[in-house]
Every structure is written in structure tokens, then in C-alpha cells.
Structure 1
Amino acid sequence: MASMEGTVALVTGATGGLGKAVATGLAREGALVAVVGRSAARAEEAMADIRSLVPGALLEPLACDLSDQSSIRAAAGGFLARHDSLHVLVNAAGVFRKERHITADGLELTFATNVMAYFVLSNLLQDALKNAATAGPRTSRIVNIASRYGNTKLDFDDLQTAHGTYSYLRSTPPTMLARVLLTQEFAERLSGSGVVANAVHPGLVKNTSLLQDVGGPFRWVTNTFGAPAEKAADTPLWLATAPETASVSGKLWAKRKELPTPGMGSDPEARHRLWDACAQLTRMP
């Protein structure tokens, strides 16, 4: 990894698992890392853990409920009040829920957290990402944690799993494809700005908090066959820091190798349609 001294990074899902491992890696390379947690207390706890591994790490807490658009806007506003530039944005937070819940915005919780949070936060911070790219020699990076095992297509008539029987196997896989599509659309819209966007399939990650709402078999498989978070963080950190990935954008990666995008990932109209659907569901000006 390249030295990140003098840079600013923001990592969601940084209070545990893969997100914390990525935040730790960025801090180890010298970046100032905004550690996003559901509460300030959880962010502070994660910061203490990171500093135990990286003494002197430059960290700041950022409380944000990523299922709530007003909380996302408040968190982004607080961050931008302190920083006009952002060099790395890692969207690593996600949920895997077995029951359907509705958020304060009237959205299904899995869709709101796994898709809308990526859309809203990245849009709110894109000017800071552009500023960082303009002010220095570095390319700014958006790294979105996704999966190669998302659905092959999205049901645009039921993006929030409102019809039929709800389950995590119906609700979560489409959000992974949606993350890839949004990554591609961000890459297209940010082309020429000095900001690149890529998605990562990290594979199974041991002891992930993502499965805290899920039964034993799923946890057993993940903890038995998954990789430690520190190993799974290698490709996201490579995309966030390496000189050789500075000009790569709109791709899906695993183990530092490009993957074919699943299903609708080869259809530009699908990502345009998803972008428009997300825009209609936000309360952003």
C-alpha cells in the first residue's frame, strides 16, 4: 500500500469486522480516518481497538444511523464542517435481516441500509472527493463492499421486497447487485473528475456482525470457511491506496482480480434506472 499521510478517509461499518479492518489499514498507512458507527460510543470503542493496533492513529468518531437519511445528512454535514476534502470513502456497512422492518423514511430496512445509504452518502460527499483530487496529485477513491453473488437482475417493481414472503435470502442478494450497479453509475458520472469508484467482493468474513440477526447455520458456515477480516480487507485497501488502481473505475474485484459483473451489471439501462429510483426515494435537495 502507498503511504496515506496527509489524506482523509471515511469508513462506514468501521465498528467491526471488515470495516474495522479497513479503517485500521488506512490508519496504519497514515490517513486520518473518520470511523463511522451507529453511535458515538460505538465509534469510540472501535477507535480504542484500532489504536491498540496502531498507536498514534489519527481517528475521529462519526455517529450515523445509515438506515436514516436525516442521520446520514447530519453526519455528512458534520464531517464537511471539519473537512473540505476527502481522499477515500469506503462504504462497508450493511445488514442481513430475517424480518421486514420499515425505517423512519418509510423504506424497507435492508434496502435502506444496503443501497440507499451508499447512494445518499456518496452523493453528499462527492464534492469533497472532487476537491481532494483537484488539490493534490492523488486520485480520490470510492470503494463499495458488494458481492458477486447478488441476484442476476433486479425487480424494479419490488425493490423493497414488499410482495410475497419476506426473507433475508430474498431481500439481501438484490442489494448486492444494486451496489455493483450504483458503483458503475458513480464511475460513469464521476469520469474525468479525478474520482474513481470500484466494488469489492470480499468473500465470507469470519465473525462478521452482518449475521448477528441470522441463525446458527449461516454463522457456522461463515466462521468455518470465511477469511479473517484482516485478510478480507486486502483488496479494499489495495483499491483505496495503490498507485496501480488510481485510474481503474467501475469494476468489481475479488482478491485483486477483476470479476465479471453479475447479470444486469452489463446493462447500462439497469444502472440508470436504479439511480433514478434511488433519487426518487431520497429527501435530498
Structure 2
Amino acid sequence: MGTHAHRPRRSELATPASSERMCARAPSSGADLVFLDLEDACAPAVKESARTIAVSALTEQDWGTTLRAVRVNGLDTPWCHDDLIEVVTGARDALDVVIVPKVRTARDVWWVDVLLSQLEQKLRLRRRIALEVLIEEAEGLANALEIARASPRVEALIFGAGDLSVSLRARVDGNFDPLGPYPGDFWHFARTQVLTAARAAGIAAVDAPFPAYGEPDAYRVSAEQAALLGFDGKWAIHPSQVPLANKVFTPTKEEVAAAKDIIARYRSAEAEGTGAIGHDGRLVDAAHIKLATNVLDRAR
């Protein structure tokens, strides 16, 4: 588990690394993490020039408490190797996280881990660069647990519904929703696999992007469903989605107060030798206290 695996990741904003204008606006978005995207957001003709823009944005702008990340191109492309070398060499300690797309096996994570270790040693970096990996291939979904445990750098798994749709040959629309009637939540099984692997490895889980940025209510519902399952945050493909994600994945004052109250009541009863209490017509035992503790952990 990464040293900083529990850094907040309520919102992760995607920003095309090829756009100086969007990179300049990203630090003020309020996102917990911003990643400058060298992969899908960049056409092949600008992938190499985008590295320079990304390095300038990382090193010359005030990012405050926002985590600074770059999504590199996939390991099966001609760009990945130089993405890592050029961006890390240029950004140095101004880069917190590397996001690796289309991870299929633990070996993919290990390859990036070794290259980063060499660069950190060569450049005498003060801090270890963390990894987040996208589970968006059928093979990656099948290997999600071994991927999550592949390196102590890995701090989060991200569920990628778009490329997973392609890999599974799913019949979906541009928002990755099924093209016809479907009983229940179309992505429930895949989401739960990603979440389970992340939790088993002790790392964070981030929900999929939601391309329909003109539909804030639908985004909020999608985020709420992921939050109910246990996800820590959600991808934002537009700055307008960031405050929605931040709100959904932050416990309310009422939830925090209720959690503190139930813990206090239980501890008081426990001190008198009682292992379970009744509260508002419901049994409260040790499992409920752990759930309440989760709420306080999220609030922190």
C-alpha cells in the first residue's frame, strides 16, 4: 500500500496536456487531483509536444494542495517510455502521481515502477512518485487484485468504463450506458470487482468518467451510486463536475455528528460490559462502530 494511499481523491479532473489554456485553468478547479492527459486527450501529432506543456504547467503554476498527476500513454504504444522519462526529468518533485492506462497485468505496473525507481535515483528526487492504474481492459479486470498489489507505489485503482466497453464489446452509447433496456445497474459487477480489489490491497478506488458534462444531475446520481458502494471519488472530465464530486464524496455534518454520537454511546455501554446497545429502535454492535469510524475517516 502506498504511503499516501489515503490522500483525498473525491474528484480527479482530466485536462488535455496539449492545451496550455486548459492546463493554466486546472489548478483553480478545486479538484483533489488534476491529471494532465497525454493519452486519449492528445492526438498522435501533438503527443510529444504536449509533454513540454505538461512540464511547464506542473513546475510553473501554484497547485496549492491539489495532487499533480500525468496520464501517460499505454505501454503498448511508442510514446509511453519517453512520456515517463521526459515528464519526470522535467517536472522532478513537481509531479505527485503517474496514471497508467489500460493496465492488463501486474507486470505492466512493475515495468513502470522499475523505470520510476531508476529516474528517482538518477535525479535524486526527494519523494517517491505514486501510481494510479486504470482498470479498463477485460484482462485487467480479471487481474484487478494482483494489479492492485503489484507495487507499493499504487495508491488507487480507477474504473474505466469507456475502454472496458470496447474490450468487452458492450453495446453502449457515448456515455457508456446500455443501448437498450437492461435489468439493474449495467456496470455493477465490473465496478464491484475494481472496488473489491482496491479494498483488498488497502488502496483507494475512483469511479469512471461521465462524458455527458451537460447533465449535472445525471452525474450526481452516478457519483452517489458509486459512493454508496464505497468508492472514494469520481473522475471529472469537465471542471463543472468537480464541485459535484467533492460534495457527494464528503460526509455531511449530520453524518459526522451521528457517527460521533453512536460511537460515544457504544463506548459508554462497552465500559459497563455491554457489547451491543439499542438506538432508535435498532441494534448497534461492533460492526456499526466500524461503519461510523469509516465516516469519520472519510471526513478527515
Band of TM-score, shorter chain: 0.3 to 0.5
Q: Normalised by the size of structure 1, how large is the TM-score?
A: 0.36
Q: Which has the higher contact order (CA 8 A, sep 6+)?
A: 1
Q: Which has the larger radius of gyration?
A: 2
Q: Normalised by the size of structure 2, how large is the TM-score?
A: 0.35
